[in-house]
């Protein structure tokens, strides 16, 4: 099978522009090629936002926030939610176009876009609107003090190529609801969806300066992270990126919220029905070719049933249809970026050198002679000290690791610098809950894979800090203010 050529059939606004302060503006950056991951052909050229563009966006955000005295932070939450609801309406109205554009730029089959954007994305931003207006107590009178949640200030929201739409609901809309102004930094690999998002923002009619959109590269992004007008950086990315963000914000003590890498384990108890387990485990370990931070990349199987687990996983992986993402029969398209395939190939080679065995995959698919394709890969004979079990790959490589007894399984699950997500599969509900509570991870699913996007979610250790989603994900973008009405500590002197 030869990869087919597809002409861009989605109208993309502002190809040579950027959205600054809510309006399209000419960019001072160069034009760069957008490469199709499924054909390696140039789709179109777009402006690569410059440092000058970044300065204009940051200045606009600071001016609109005006140290908390601007129009947006002084609006009621109901007024802000009304504008954000218009944004949600606009995003949903062009959801098919955004998902189609994502197929062109990231190789995501439309079914994946429909699920993560049209399903989860809509759910998370609609839930955020409800939480902000109905459930969060923005002010609480505690008698001697009024406790208020107030917006932090201009926020830089750094989004990834694997979630340019759903992350609007996890980062951007919560920050806006909290009263912050926002510079949205989409990944440079998301230039098409970023511009459709930007047009939705323009249509929503935010006050001038409240939102800007820059699908920028590394140099411009690092400049924004270090910009004195940015008071908080909320980033999704790898651990190394998170460390760099902390260093660039440290001197001015800017707030950071870091949703970083993962090496999620799935503990398979001895008592499971593997047919039931595979209903969620297979997809939970192979979604979007492993380009999901919560993918279950370490499958911990009891030694007594190790071969059964490997065989069940192998059957699932062998059945996955990899191919042209525009084909409705395709389940997995190419990797979104060439470096991801190179990285996967490297880790598989190192794993084999260290004694692991390739059960399924481990190569580029036959017949797909163009595009950044790589087969879903299952490795056996892996121990938790191998490189493939220690480092995040962010690609289609899954390791099955044997354990001896549940205490060993818990020890292996926790023997990682990461702590983002995990799963526990057991037919004993009480035992599963006990195991889940002993796993050091920001999220643990029982007899499921994945996370809830309506509840607080985030990492432990090298997986970052801060929480997204739920009420906590909105309040992450606030400071707590105490307005004292009585009971000062100075009054204690009168009691001595």
Contacts of residue 366, Cβ cutoff 8 Å, sequence gap at least 6: none
Per the residue annotation, which of 293, 392, 468, 476 is the catalytic one? 293
Contacts of residue 279, Cβ cutoff 8 Å, sequence gap at least 6: none
The CA distance from 464 to 456, in Å, is 14
* Cβ atoms 170, 128 nearer than 8 A: no
Per the residue annotation, which of 105, 189, 199, 259 is the catalytic one? 259
259: annotated active-site residue: yes
**Residue 218 buriedness (CB in 10 A; 0-12 / 13-18 / 19+):** exposed
79: annotated active-site residue: no
Query: Residues with catalytic annotation?
Result: 259, 293
């Amino acid at each position: 099978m030869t990869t087919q050529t597809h002409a861009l059939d989605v109208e993309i606004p502002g190809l040579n522009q950027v959205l600054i302060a809510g309006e399209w503006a000419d960019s001072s950056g160069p034009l760069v090629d957008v490469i199709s991951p499924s054909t390696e052909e140039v789709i179109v050229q777009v402006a690569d936002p410059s440092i000058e563009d970044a300065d204009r966006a940051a200045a606009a955000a600071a001016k609109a926030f005006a140290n908390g005295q601007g129009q947006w932070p002084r609006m009621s939450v109901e007024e802000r939610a009304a504008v954000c609801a218009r944004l949600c309406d606009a995003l949903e109205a062009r959801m098919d176009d955004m998902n189609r554009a994502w197929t062109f730029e990231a190789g995501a089959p439309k079914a994946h876009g429909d699920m993560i954007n049209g399903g989860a994305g809509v759910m998370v931003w609609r839930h955020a609107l409800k939480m902000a207006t109905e459930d969060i107590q923005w002010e609480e009178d505690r008698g001697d003090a009024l406790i208020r949640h107030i917006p932090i200030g201009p926020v830089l929201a750094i989004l990834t190529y694997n979630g340019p739409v759903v992350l609007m609901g996890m980062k951007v809309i919560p920050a806006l609801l909290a009263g912050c102004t926002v510079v949205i930094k989409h990944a440079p690999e998301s230039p098409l969806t970023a511009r459709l998002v930007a047009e939705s923002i323009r249509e929503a009619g935010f006050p001038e300066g409240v939102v800007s959109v820059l699908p920028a590269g590394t140099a411009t992004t690092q400049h924004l992270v270090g910009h004195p007008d940015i008071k908080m950086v909320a980033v999704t990315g790898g651990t190394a990126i998170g460390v760099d963000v902390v260093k660039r914000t440290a001197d001015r003590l800017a707030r950071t919220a870091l949703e970083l890498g993962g090496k999620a384990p799935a503990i398979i108890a001895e008592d499971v029905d593997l047919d039931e387990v595979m209903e969620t485990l297979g997809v939970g370990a192979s979604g979007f070719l492993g380009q999901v931070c919560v993918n279950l990349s370490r499958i911990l199987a009891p030694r007594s049933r190790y071969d059964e687990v490997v065989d069940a996983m192998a059957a699932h992986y062998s059945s996955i249809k990899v191919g042209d993402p525009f084909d409705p029969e395709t389940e997995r398209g190419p990797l979104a970026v060439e470096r991801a395939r190179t990285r996967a190939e490297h880790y598989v080679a190192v794993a084999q050198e260290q004694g692991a065995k390739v059960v399924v995959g481990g190569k580029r698919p036959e017949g797909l002679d163009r595009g950044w394709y790589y087969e879903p890969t299952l490795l056996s004979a892996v121990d938790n000290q191998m490189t493939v079990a220690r480092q995040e790959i962010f690609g289609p490589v899954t390791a099955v690791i044997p354990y001896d007894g549940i205490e060993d399984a818990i020890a292996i699950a926790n023997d990682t610098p990461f702590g983002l997500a995990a799963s526990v599969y057991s037919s004993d509900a009480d035992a599963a809950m006990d195991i889940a509570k002993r796993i050091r991870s920001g999220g643990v699913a029982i007899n499921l894979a994945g996370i809830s996007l309506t509840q607080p979610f985030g990492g432990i250790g090298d997986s970052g800090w801060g929480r997204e989603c739920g009420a906590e994900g909105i309040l992450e973008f606030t400071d707590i203010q105490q307005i004292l009405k009585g009971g000062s500590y100075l009054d204690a002197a009168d009691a001595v």
